[in-house]
Amino acid sequence: MEEAHLLSAADVLRRFSVTAEGGLTLEQVTDARERYGPNELPTEEGKSLWELVVEQFEDLLVRILLLAALVSFVLAWFEEGEETTTAFVEPLVIMLILVANAIVGVWQERNAESAIEALKEYEPEMGKVIRSDRKGVQRIRARDIVPGDIVEVAVGDKVPADLRLIEIKSTTLRVDQSILTGESVSVTKHTDAIPDPRAVNQDKKNMLFSGTNIASGKALGVAVATGLHTELGKIRSQMAAVEPERTPLQRKLDEFGRQLSHAISVICVAVWVINIGHFADPAHGGSWLRGAVYYFKIAVALAVAAIPEGLPAVITTCLALGTRRMARKNAIVRSLPSVETLGCTSVICSDKTGTLTTNQMSVCRMFVVAEAEAGACRLHEFTISGTTYTPEGEVRQGEQLVRCGQFDGLVELATICALCNDSALDYNEAKGVYEKVGEATETALTCLVEKMNVFDTDLKGLSRVERAGACNSVIKQLMRKEFTLEFSRDRKSMSVYCTPTRADPKAQGSKMFVKGAPESVIERCSSVRVGSRTVPLSATSREHILAKIRDWGSGSDTLRCLALATRDTPPRKEDMQLDDCSQFVQYETGLTFVGCVGMLDPPRPEVAACITRCSRAGIRVVMITGDNKGTAVAICRRLGIFGDTEDVLGKAYTGREFDDLSPEQQRQACRTARCFARVEPAHKSRIVENLQSFNEITAMTGDGVNDAPALKKAEIGIAMGSGTAVAKSAAEMVLSDDNFASIVAAVEEGRAIYNNMKQFIRYLISSNVGEVVCIFLTAILGLPEALIPVQLLWVNLVTDGLPATALGFNPPDLDIMEKLPRNPREALISGWLFFRYLAIGVYVGLATVAAATWWFLYDAEGPQVTFHQLRNFLKCSEDNPLFAGIDCEVFESRFPTTMALSVLVTIEMCNALNSVSENQSLLRMPPWLNPWLLGAVVMSMALHFLILLVPPLPLIFQVTPLSGRQWGVVLQMSLPVILLDEALKYLSRHHVDGVLETFMQAWCKQPLPGPHATRGWLPGCHFNGWEQTEEFVFIQERWTVSGLGPEKKARERLGLVSAAS
């Protein structure tokens, strides 16, 4: 029943044909169970082991490797001679890689928590109902509760279904519904109808929601929704409807795999077709079939060379290293690909409470009355430092530090705060922090009393545990709390009846201490405390006090204010009707106003600087909260999300205002808004959907069950460490400290990881391009093999793998958070970057072929044949006069392949050193900035010498030791790659990256009239049609949402104005 909150309790009972006293009949229960089903959330069917295994082979690169392994295995089966053993090495190594990847993938899937299954922990096992078949309340399984059942709940119970309250059997009923609505304090409930068809769950004060907890009181309700129809069930349905999407990195790797597979296919077929004329050469015994198989093996070798077998492992390792670094910064990543996704985050949608703020309510201001006579009213105002529950802080009047014990009004104010209070501070020794026990508002008052220390208690030598309540204990020794008049909605206050203890001989008798909403409490005050005197409260003084409270409540801080008062001569407790809460208001009349405190959930001190960093990085921060709009906007101003005087029209919306917009208006609102207040879970999901329609990469924070659908839908779901298991399992990242600064640190780390990934991908791909060029050249020119498949596997997996992994430790660029988020649509390899890969790769290929050729043509230990003889080596025979005096077996020597392999490995080590920075010279970013890389280079060279010198490795890898002169040639051919890459870096720094800005400067120095003057980015600039391109649109959007102002940001970036102007 969706409209249950609109109806009176009697109307709801009539709808279900039930009475509160009798409950449902057994026939009604049976009918309802058949109609609505059991009161439980259906379990989620998991994937079978076989399905998980198959999923690991859906990646295109993995399939290409699998095909290469199968073909290699078939070819190895028919191999003859001494190569039979080595031929099986290649397919076995590839299969081991694939099996290891599959095992890791299945293990991660099996250990992943299910967000939907975690919801079931909020389902209670038992419930208490009233039914006609038995007198009184009976306990039944919660799954057997049906709509229409009369359900009883009491303190400590978990609500078993969505209930419409029909009777509250205690003074008050308070419910902790934070898991569903995100409210940080328990909520007072009532039974009155709420005539608002658009009320959000926070405003449905007459409803209890399944899975929430009763904090205090006892009540009866009628079940109006069960199972999937409850608010908890709706969240489950929303989560089940969310289809998991591949991350930007996964999509880029998929695209890279497709491009690579096409390139491999074309090159392999080309090599095989070009050599058709050599199929019947004498080297193949004149057999056309043997020649075809020989060149097919070369084509397979080419495929092995082109595939970066080590890339998946290196990427996984780099991401895993990133997760460790993030964990040290309190960001625990549950999904490895999400590490990279963080780097292109363009919008961060953050909860307010606990993330942007401390979630530790603190009193920051208070006042007592200094003068209230002769029509004048003057206040003593004080500020209190401290933004956490730590009981340490300073009290100041203006700039002057004060001792609170010198002010009689502050002594009484502290007394009321300590006694009109059921909370306490507790020191958590495991965490090393002070925590609240009880309501946040009352804990703030407890903490205030400790900071005030009105009786100058000696706090030296106290342990942290003793310090938590030292000053409050002194006050509680002077007055004994007899009973409490609980808070009620009608009088908006609560009070305690206290009598003096024997420890206070100066006590003047019983007193009532009152705290509550200022308007309600001050209305019942007839006098005011001025120092130690009591004077009548005039209309002028009353209005002056209320004006100050209104100013605190509506100013830049939007403080939550509580008025504190006392009744000096209360009735005798024997004369008070404590079982009738309607009488409480008459006992709280004739009060004396003592003072007022203003509190807030303070912003975290470090968040404002983090938001500035986000703005400079082109990341828009959007605050999403359940608080009212005024409080939300005030916090946004304090944090720098909004400027102090910025007009928030069109930039801040309540959930209801957002609902009033058309779908297209909602979409546009999400593009510009930076604050959403009074929102529900469904709003969060819609906000994410709209942001994704603009190709934004969205990070969404949350901690409650209600946040799970949005966390699952966003590219990066970020759960709080103190949040629910559902939120954590739906998210990609968990913040152990619930701190927004940790999100920004994670984004920075994500950007650094992506930069490092580009470096090691460039490093690995240039090596693979070099190997392809080497094999392609030898095949086209008809030269002997320079590299064989087993050598290629060794280089791709081991020799290159160590430096590639070490590149993941590269330090981040100093200006990494000064750049705009990268376009998630940009290809992994494109344009200039592709040219750089190609240039380095071609040099690698030419150098390896040249090294092998040098041995044949010029080495003193080689045959010193001519290049023409070398190109026709397959025609070598005793009968061929071209090869007179030449032993044909020399063309099968291990020296040329060793030379080629050594040049390949040495060049790759130089390449690794070049990769410390993408564009910075080695002179500015030397290799020793990454000591891991230096160690990896040394280890890789040591492994290369290992296969050259230690038997039986030379036999397996078809290599042999080289002489000193030969190593000299290797170095001569390898070291120039450093100069080549330095030249490419110079071009990148001074020409390629500056083309965009140079082009724009040329057009933007003088404002030009025309249709482009209103495009809202650089007014008056004409781009001759370039503004229609995707790249322009992406840059325009990033600067527009940066929060610093699009025109100034862009002009600063282009050097058209100074940052100071």
Helical ranges in 187-346 per DSSP H: 231-241, 248-274, 288-306, 311-328, 337-341
> Which amino acid appears at position 556 of this protein?
S
Q: Are 180 and 233 in contact (CB under 8 A)?
A: no
Q: Are 535 and 582 in contact (CB under 8 A)?
A: no
> Which amino acid appears at position 452 of this protein?
M
Strand residues in 330-461 grouped as ranges (E): 331-333, 347-351, 362-371, 378-384, 395-397, 400-401, 424-428, 433-437
Q: Which residues is 675 bridged to in the sheet?
A: 623, 652
The Cα 698–Cα 338 span in angstroms is: 12
Q: Are 617 and 819 in contact (CB under 8 A)?
A: yes
The Cα 810–Cα 762 span in angstroms is: 14
Closest CA to 137 of 238, 23, 30, 241: 23
Q: Are 738 and 806 in contact (CB under 8 A)?
A: no
Q: Are 578 and 570 in contact (CB under 8 A)?
A: no
Element (H, E) at 40: none
- Neighbouring residues of 345: CB distance < 8 A, sequence distance ≥ 6: 619, 697, 698, 699, 715, 716, 747, 750, 821
Examine the residue annotation and report whether 647 is marked as an active-site residue of this protein. no
Burial class (CB in 10 A: 0-12, 13-18, 19+), 74: exposed
> Which amino acid appears at position 161 of this protein?
A
Kindly state the tokens that stand for 1017.
Answer: 């980015």
Phi, psi values for residue 215, rounded to 5°: -85, -35
Q: Are 710 and 691 in contact (CB under 8 A)?
A: no
Residue 422, classed as helix, strand or coil, is coil
Element (H, E) at 1027: none
Kindly state the tokens that stand for 940.
Answer: 């890789």
Neighbours of 156 (CB within 10 A): 9
- Neighbouring residues of 382: CB distance < 8 A, sequence distance ≥ 6: 365, 366, 367, 395, 396, 397, 402, 410
Phi, psi values for residue 829, rounded to 5°: -135, 120
Instruction: Select which of 149, 162, 351, 738 is catalytic.
Output: 351
- Neighbouring residues of 102: CB distance < 8 A, sequence distance ≥ 6: 53, 56, 57
The Cα 451–Cα 69 span in angstroms is: 72
Instruction: Report DSSP letters for 57-89, one per residue.
Output: T-SHHHHHHHHHHHHHHHHHHT--TTHHHHHTH
The Cα 502–Cα 496 span in angstroms is: 19
> Which amino acid appears at position 210 of this protein?
S
Instruction: Report DSSP letters for 156-174, one per residue.
Output: TPBP-SEEEEEEE-SS--E
The Cα 139–Cα 150 span in angstroms is: 12
Helical ranges in 247-310 per DSSP H: 248-274, 288-306
Q: Are 544 and 596 in contact (CB under 8 A)?
A: no
Q: Report the residue count for the chain.
A: 1061
For strands 347-351 and 331-333, give the pairing: unpaired
Q: Are 75 and 300 in contact (CB under 8 A)?
A: yes
The Cα 282–Cα 231 span in angstroms is: 80
- Active centre residues (catalytic): 351
